[in-house]
Amino acid sequence: MEIKIMRNVLDRNQDKASENRQLLEQNQVVMFNFISSPGAGKTSFLELLCENLAREFNIGIIEGDAYTYRDAQRLVKYNLPVVQINTEGGCHLDSNSISRALAEFDLNKLDVVLIENVGNLICPTAFDLGENYCIALISITEGDDKPAKYPMLFRKADIIILNKIDLIEYTNFEINRFKADLHKLAVNVPFFEISCTQQTGIQDLIN
Amino acid sequence: MEIKIMRNVLDRNQDKASENRQLLEQNQVVMFNFISSPGAGKTSFLELLCENLAREFNIGIIEGDAYTYRDAQRLVKYNLPVVQINTEGGCHLDSNSISRALAEFDLNKLDVVLIENVGNLICPTAFDLGENYCIALISITEGDDKPAKYPMLFRKADIIILNKIDLIEYTNFEINRFKADLHKLAVNVPFFEISCTQQTGIQDLIN
């Protein structure tokens, strides 16, 4: 019974995700879904994207958080439209909440929507939000075993970003091991090494 | 309907958790449930516990993982009984899987069971496993906003451990901010700062 209910939930999610994708296409908006562990640097990365891209593109941001409004508050300074989704303990965003968030924007005036999902490597990977690109953001300090341990995320990702590269010398992270595990999953998508605090690798990624 | 199903799931989980707790009490075994983000250092911390406590106590380990057996493999060297629970993409352990794992041990011969939950700060907090103590393990590199963003975990925790303290100088983590947020949640449990790689703070914690 639980499996059936879960299938219904995912089917309904998929329908709404398709609607979102269609709505974005009609308005020529591209949407990105950022998934990472708690504290891997999603908000810091979004800050850098806003700083570097806000002159060229009209950006809207959807902030997913289990409880607080802190991440949204960090982005207010860019004077861009930000919609906060508070899941009240829920472990992922779904396409229905994104649909309501998109309705808050004037999509005619946007080029890009960036979604910061709830910090979690598992549940968000099961819920299509209607995004055009899913971005997996992993930080060096989490260890190089993440592709093996969370294959669903890496199979779903269109771009993989390795953040906190400045800390690699203080850890036992080996990029070759990380890449070998991606290879085992047959994952072959653009891969970037960056540091949000040191602002390295950002320009490459943006180009 | 989904809410009702979820309540049934949690009620059944609670019943089985109580059974687990009773079984452990009958056998004078104390069980710990470790919850953290992916890559915060749960397995490294368990390795140190095994090294430091295995002469004094008979330890059994339950390893929860979404897919691989890697963490269990890391613990094989201690020659302790290890049971692996593979959730096949599931985002938390439940009391039923723990009940089956406990049946694999000779509980008469154990003093302590250590459970490594799936790396996730949200879903595992909703599922009582029958443990006696829940331990929240947070790493410095995740940022000092975790108590505000994941209050359920910190309210559930009987002990809070801050790992990777050796990396604090390379981050903007402020322990006072972390503690102030705990204070706002009225959380007042033992708190330890450690580094598994540098082996600092471990002896204090073990004592």
ipTM value for the complex: 0.71
Question: What percent of chain A clears pLDDT 90, i.e. is strictly above it?
Answer: 72
- CA angle A130/A133/A134 to nearest 5° reads 90
Average pLDDT over residues A14-34: 95
Is residue A35 helix, strand or coil?
strand
Residue A6 — very low, low, confident or very high, per pLDDT cuts 50/70/90? Answer: low
On whether the pTM is more than 0.90, the answer is: no
> Would you say residue A139 has pLDDT above 50?
yes
Residue A7 — very low, low, confident or very high, per pLDDT cuts 50/70/90? Answer: low
Of A9, A40, A122, the CB nearest to B89: A122
Q: Do A141 and B67 touch (CB under 8 A)?
A: no
Of B2, B5, B37, the CB nearest to A38: B37
pLDDT of residue A141: 96
Residue A45 — very low, low, confident or very high, per pLDDT cuts 50/70/90? Answer: very high
A100 CB-near residues (< 8 Å, 6+ apart)? none
pLDDT of residue A182: 93
pLDDT in tens, B142-183: 999 999 889 889 999 999 999 999 999 999 999 999 999 998
Q: What token pair was written down for B144?
A: 């000092």
A/B interface, count of CB pairs below 8 Å: 116
Give the distance, in angstroms, between the CA of residue A125 and the centroid of all CA atoms in the same chain.
Answer: 10
pLDDT of residue B4: 58
pLDDT of residue A90: 86
pLDDT of residue A3: 53
Q: Do B68 and A149 touch (CB under 8 A)?
A: yes
Q: Do A142 and B91 touch (CB under 8 A)?
A: no
> Would you say residue A126 has pLDDT above 50?
yes
> Would you say residue B5 has pLDDT above 70?
no
Among chain B, residues having any CB pair with chain A shorter than 8 Å are 1-2, 5, 9, 37-40, 65-68, 70, 89-91, 118-123, 139, 141-143, 145-146, 148-152, 164, 166-167, 170-172, 197
> Would you say residue A92 has pLDDT above 60?
yes
Average pLDDT, chain B: 92
Nearest CA in chain B to A181: B68
CA distance A97 to A102: 9
pLDDT in tens, B8-54: 777 889 899 999 999 999 999 999 999 999 999 999 999 999 999 99
Q: Do A66 and B164 touch (CB under 8 A)?
A: no
Q: Which of B120, B152, B164, B181 should one mutate to test binding to chain A, selecting the residue with the greatest count of A CBs within 10 A?
A: B120
> Would you say residue A121 has pLDDT above 90?
yes
Q: Do A150 and B66 touch (CB under 8 A)?
A: yes
Do A167 and B167 touch, CB atoms closer than 8 A?
Answer: yes
Amino acid making up residue B81: P
Nearest CA in chain B to A5: B2
Distance from the A149 Cα atom to the nearest Cα atom in chain B, whole angstroms? 6
Q: What is the 3-state secondary structure (H, E, C) of B22-76?
A: HHHHHCCCEEEEEEECCCCCHHHHHHHHHHHHCCCCCEEEEEEECCCCHHHHHHH
Q: Which residues of B touch A152 (CB under 8 A)?
A: 89
Helix axes A2-26, A95-102, angle to 10 degrees: 30
Q: Do B122 and A121 touch (CB under 8 A)?
A: no
Q: Which residues of B touch A149 (CB under 8 A)?
A: 38, 65-68, 70, 119
Residue A1 — very low, low, confident or very high, per pLDDT cuts 50/70/90? Answer: very low
Q: Which residues of B touch A66 (CB under 8 A)?
A: 122, 149-150
pLDDT of residue B25: 95
pLDDT in tens, A195-204: 999 989 988 8
> Would you say residue A82 has pLDDT above 70?
yes
Do A36 and A57 touch, CB atoms closer than 8 A?
Answer: no
Nearest CA in chain A to B181: A68
Which stretches of chain B are DSSP H helices?
2-26, 42-53, 70-75, 95-102, 146-149, 151-156, 175-184, 202-206
